[in-house]
Amino acid sequence: MSEWVDVISEAALAVGEHVRVDLDGVDVAVFRLADGFYAIEDVCTHDGTEIASGELDGDEIVCPRHGARFCLKTGAVKCAPAYEDITSYAVRVVDGRLQIASN
C-alpha cells in the first residue's frame, strides 16, 4: 500500500512549471500540465543525469543532454537514445495540497 507524502500547495505551480522534491531519498520532479499534475523520477535513463530542466513539449519532456523524450504522464520512453522508462508516481490533490504516492 502506498503512503501519500505532502509536497507543495497546488497553487504554487503554474501550468508548465515544475518542482523537485526528495521522496524517500529519490529525486522526483512534479510537473503541472494543463490537465493536471504528474510526477516522475528526476533522472534520464540514458545517462543518469537529471531531466527536469529539459524542455516541455506537450506531455513530454526532452532530456537537456542528448534529446531522449519521456511521457510525463506515464514515464514511458518516447525517443532514443533512452530505451528504459522513467519511474512515475501517482499524484493527488487533497485540500489544496499536492501529494505523491511513495512507492
C-alpha cell at 33: 500540465
Question: What pLDDT is recorded for position 2?
Answer: 73
Contact 90, 101 (CB under 8 A): yes
Q: Which domain holds residue 34?
A: 3-102
pLDDT over 70 (residue 1): no
CATH number at residue 52: 2.102.10.10
Q: What 8-state DSSP symbol labels residue 52?
A: T
* Helix, strand, or coil (residue 32): strand
Q: What residues have CB less than 8 Å from 2, skipping those under 6 apart?
A: 90, 101, 102, 103
End-to-end CA distance of the chain: 8
Number of domains the chain is built from: 1
pLDDT in tens, 42-81: 999 998 889 999 999 999 999 998 999 999 999 999 999 9
pTM of the model: 0.92
Contact 6, 99 (CB under 8 A): yes
